[in-house]
Structure 1
Amino acid sequence: MSRIREHNRELIIQAASEIFADQGYAATKIIEIANRAGLPKPNVYYYFKSKENLYRSVIESVIDPLLQAAQPFYEDDDPATVLEQYIIAKIKVSQQHPHASKVFASEIMHGAPHLPEDIAEKMMEQTIQSSNKIQSWVDRGLMDRVDPHHLLFTIWAATQTYADFDWQISRVTGKDNLSQQDYDTAAQQLTQLILKGCGVQTSKAAKAG
């Protein structure tokens, strides 16, 4: 794909993310997205063919990094390391994809009427894998007896707050935009709460003991 083509696609996806987040799928018009992107309306159809395809691309723009965020569950067996890396990655998704995250959250809250089945299946498979890994740590005494699903729900809610509830965060902090230090602090504090609250040990420490 040429640089110009890729650049235009990114412009359109970013503009679509912002407008879908503000107005929802049904109320959004392609001409509004084209105007926000600074491109002719035919260009949007040239790259995406339809509003439905563009919406899917917006969803995929946040789903891909969300799925990638869970890679530590596949690559390491130390609960402290995995959970810390997962939380950091999830915070980063909210920081870097705030509008697409809102679109995704709204889609889920409305019963996922436009979420493609293949994407839903990928997410379910990832959740099953992550839950099984957490359960294995519980069974091996590497953390307290917590429910894996509810632990994941807690992490999802806490990390996605930084995208989905930005108005509230801005209101409370008095900042229009959070700094990198704010996001780092959020990740560190949530990691501390999760690890201590779940009685997490490192697998290395358990083996040494």
Structure 2
Amino acid sequence: MPSFVGIDLAASPKGVTGLAVVRGRSISTKSVHTDEEILNLVVTASPEVVALDSPLSLGKGPFRDFELAAMSKGFRLLPLTMRSMRLLAIRGMRIAHTLSSLGIKVIETHPASAVKSSGCADVRDVIRSLDLEALPGSMSNRHEVDAAVAALVAMCYSAQTYYSFKGLEGELVLLPEGLCKGTCDAVRPKL
């Protein structure tokens, strides 16, 4: 049974990182801190795709080319010139590199923008639209909620039903447009 992982990465191991796994028709979440905890949980899940809520490249200016395209469509992103965003990007690139070296596909996402692109009210609306269910105790904090959205983006990416902004400096992958408005084909996990 395929699995998909979402990570809402903190800029530092001192902060809370949310991690979510979609397997079958269920989604579960957990809060972790260290790179080792993140990598161990991802490797154990053996995902097809990992969606990381973190910049996975450093651009030449405050915003990368694909972020400027996303912002022109009304999506709100933070500049890489902010110290915390730069630290987040460095940690995200390191984790993505490690996972990629293990043969795991890693994509960049932004959960707030992903929910907006879907036309859904919130993550629970997305979960219902995809005919999934959150396991009891899941999504107990905002980091786990964002990780759940990221895992759903990973699942949609694997099914090749997603919305994205792509440029020379990378790609931002979001949920398919109109998911909750019934204007796109529903993406459901294959059991």
Normalising by structure 2, report the TM-score: 0.31
More strand by share: 2
Higher helix share: 1
Structure showing greater radius of gyration is 1
Task: Say which structure, 1 or 2, has more relative contact order (CA 8 Å, 6+ apart).
Answer: 2
